[in-house]
Amino acid sequence: MIDIKLLRENPELVKENIKKKFQNHKLVLVDEVLELDAKNREVKLRGDDLRSQRNSLSSQIGNLMKQGKKDDADAIKLEVQRINTALEEIEKLEEKYGNQIKERMMKIPNFIHESVPIGKDDSQNVEIQKFGDPVVPSYEIPYHTDIMERLAGIDLDSARRVAGNGFYYLMGDIARLHSSILSYARDFMIAKGFTYCVPPFMIRSDVVTGVMSFEEMDAMMYKIEGEDLYLIGTSEHSMIGKFKDQILAKENIPYTMTSYSPCFRKEKGAHGIEERGVYRIHQFEKQEMIVVCEPDQSWEWYDKLWSYTVELFRSMEIPVRTLECCSGDLADLKAKSCDVEAWSPRQQKYFEVGSCSNLTDAQARRLGIRIKGEKGNYYAHTLNNTVVAPPRMLIAFLENHYQEDGSITIPEVLWPYMGGTKILIPKR
C-alpha cells in the first residue's frame, strides 16, 4: 500500500506507475480515492470542530454547577447532547469513508523500482546472468517422476486416491534426499548469519491481506472453514506477520531469518505437460529467507538474497540463471523481483526454482511495521526470497545428476545429510 499523502500530492505519478504495470482498469481507483479523501477530510474537520465545541461547553457546565446555575447548566447539557448526536453521524461517515479509501488503496500497486524493465507479462522478463555451464548429455533423461519411480521414491496413484491431483507420496531415497536438501539449506543460511525459525502454518485474514494482494489471496490461499484462519502459501506470510503492529528498535535492525514450513496453494488453472508430477502441486515444503530492514539498506539486501540462492544451487552442481521480472509480471506489492531458474537438461531450458522480492514499505504499511526513529517512527522495508523448495528443486537435481545407467550422483555437500551415501541406484 502506497502513502496516501503521495497520492494526494502527485496522483499522475501514481497513475503512471499503474500504466507501467498494464493495469489501466485500476486508474479509476486514484480518482475515487481523491474524491473520498476530500470528503473524509471535510467530515473530520467538522468532527474536530464539534469536539472542540463540546469540550468548551462541558467545562462551562462544571463552572455553572459550581455557581448554582442549574437551569443554565441544563440548557448547555441539551446542546452537548445535540453535538453528541451529530458526532455519532459524523463518526459513522468517517468510518465509512475510511473503509472505502482503504479498500481502494489496497488495490493500487506499489511503486516499481526504476530499474524494472517494462513489459506486459513473464514472456518479457529479462535474463540477467548465467551461473555454471548448462550441459545436455548424449543419453536421454527421463521425465522426473519416471526417475523417481525407478528409485521407488514416489507414489502419485495412492496420493490421488487419498487427496486428489496435486499431491504425492515421497519415499525411500527420494524422501531422504528431499529432507537432506532442506536440512542443508537450513544450515547454509544459518552459516550466513540468519536466525532459523519454524512459524505458524496458519494465519488470520488481517495478516493475509497485509502480506499479499486480494488477487493473490484468491488464487493461492486455502481457508479453514468456519474459522478466521488460512493455510500459508509460504512461510514469508507468517514471518512478516510476526512483526504486525510492532515498533522496532533501531539497534535490532535488520532482522534476518530463514524459515521452514510446509506450503499450501490452490494453483488455479490448467498447466502444461511439464508442470505435472511435482512441478506444480498443492502441498510442498520450503526453506525461505526474510529480511526486515532500514529503507536505505533494502536494495543491498536484495542483491545479497538472490545471490545466496545462486550460491546454494551451484554448491549442488546445478547450473542456474537469474531473470529480471518485468513490470507486468510483478505482484502488486513488489517493487522489484528476480527469479532464479535452474537448468533442465531434459527440456534444454531453464525453469523457475525460486523468487527474490523487495516489497519496500508496502507490507509494512499494511501491517503497521515501523522503526522507532529519533524524529518520529517510520515504516520498515521487507524482503523475501526462496532458499529452496525441494519438490520442484528435485526435478533440477535429478536431471542434472542423472547418469546413463539410471543412477543419481550425490554432490559432496549433501553427503553428511545422506548418511554418507554418494550415489542412488535404481531399484526398478
Q: Which domain holds residue 126?
A: 122-424
Q: Is the pLDDT of residue 415 over 80?
A: yes
Residues 6 or more apart whose CB falls under 8 angstroms from that of 356 comprise 302, 305, 306, 309, 337, 338, 339, 340, 383, 384, 385, 386
- For residue 102, which phi and psi values (nearest 5 degrees)? -60, -45
Q: Quick check: is 116 in a domain?
A: no
Give the CA distances from residue 12 to residues 6, 27, 118, 258, 404, in Å, rounded to whole numbers and listed in that order: 10, 10, 18, 39, 60
Of 76, 105, 134, the domain-final residue: 105
Do 143 and 31 sit in the same domain of this protein? no
Check residue 335 and give its pLDDT.
98
Give the pLDDT of residue 76. Answer: 82
Strands (E), 44-160: 126-131, 154-155
Same domain for 154 and 90?
Answer: no
262 and 376 share one domain: yes
Mean pLDDT across 224-233 = 96
C-alpha cell of residue 393: 528443486
Percent of the chain with pLDDT over 70: 98
On whether both 262 and 387 belong to a single domain, the answer is yes
Give the residue from 17, 53, 11, 16 showing the smallest Cα distance to 36: 11
CA 378, CA 247: separation in Å to the nearest integer?
Answer: 9
Mean of pLDDT values over 15-43 = 97
Same domain, 306 and 215: yes
The pLDDT mean for the chain works out to: 93
Same domain, yes or no, for 220 and 356? yes
* Domain match, 69 and 126 both: no
Reported confidence tier of residue 273, pLDDT bands at 50, 70, 90? very low
Poorest-pLDDT segment among 25-39, 81-95, 122-136? 81-95
**What's the domain count of the chain?**
2
pLDDT band at 348 (very low <50, low <70, confident <90, very high): very high
Q: Tell me the three state secondary structure of residue 247.
A: strand
**Phi, psi dihedral angles at 51 (to 5 degrees):** -65, -40
**Count of Cβ atoms closer than 10 Å to residue 420 Cβ:** 8
Asked whether the predicted pLDDT for residue 322 surpasses 50, the reply is yes
Give me the CATH number covering residue 232.
Answer: 3.30.930.10
pLDDT at 283 over 80: yes
In this structure, what C-alpha cell is assigned to residue 408? 543419481
Q: What is the pTM of this model?
A: 0.90
CA dihedral 349, 351, 353, 359 (to 10 degrees): 120
Enumerate the β-bridge partners of residue 197.
259
Domain-terminating residue out of 62, 77, 105: 105
Q: Are residues 141 and 251 both part of a single domain?
A: yes
Residue 270 has pLDDT above 70, yes or no: no
pLDDT tens string 153-167? 999 999 999 999 889
Answer yes or no: is 283 within a domain: yes
Q: Predicted confidence band at 66 (pLDDT cuts at 50, 70, 90)?
A: confident
Same domain, 387 and 300: yes
pLDDT tens track for 170-223: 999 999 999 999 999 999 999 999 999 999 999 999 999 999 988 888 888 999
Is the predicted pLDDT of residue 271 greater than 60, yes or no? no
Q: Give the residue-averaged pLDDT of 397-410.
A: 97
Contacts for 284 with CB less than 8 Å, ≥ 6 apart: 262, 263, 278, 389, 390, 391, 392
Q: Within a domain: residue 405?
A: yes
* Lowest mean pLDDT across 212-221, 301-310, 346-355, 379-388: 212-221
Residue 318: CB partners within 8 Å, gap ≥ 6?
A: 132, 342, 343, 396, 397, 400
Residue 119 has pLDDT above 50, yes or no: yes
Any domain includes 236: yes
CATH number at 18 reads 1.10.287.40
**112 part of a folded domain:** no
Instruction: Please indicate, yes or no, if residue 249 is contained in any of the structural domains.
Output: yes
Question: Under a CB-based contact definition with an 8 Å cutoff, are residues 109 and 26 in contact?
Answer: yes
Same domain for 159 and 55: no
Instruction: Please give the Cα distance from 239 to 199 (Å, whole number).
Output: 7
Task: Return the exposure string of 322-354: e unless at least 16 CB atoms fall within 10 Å of the residue's CB, then b.
Answer: bbbbbbbbbbbbbbbbbbbbbbbbbeeebbbbb
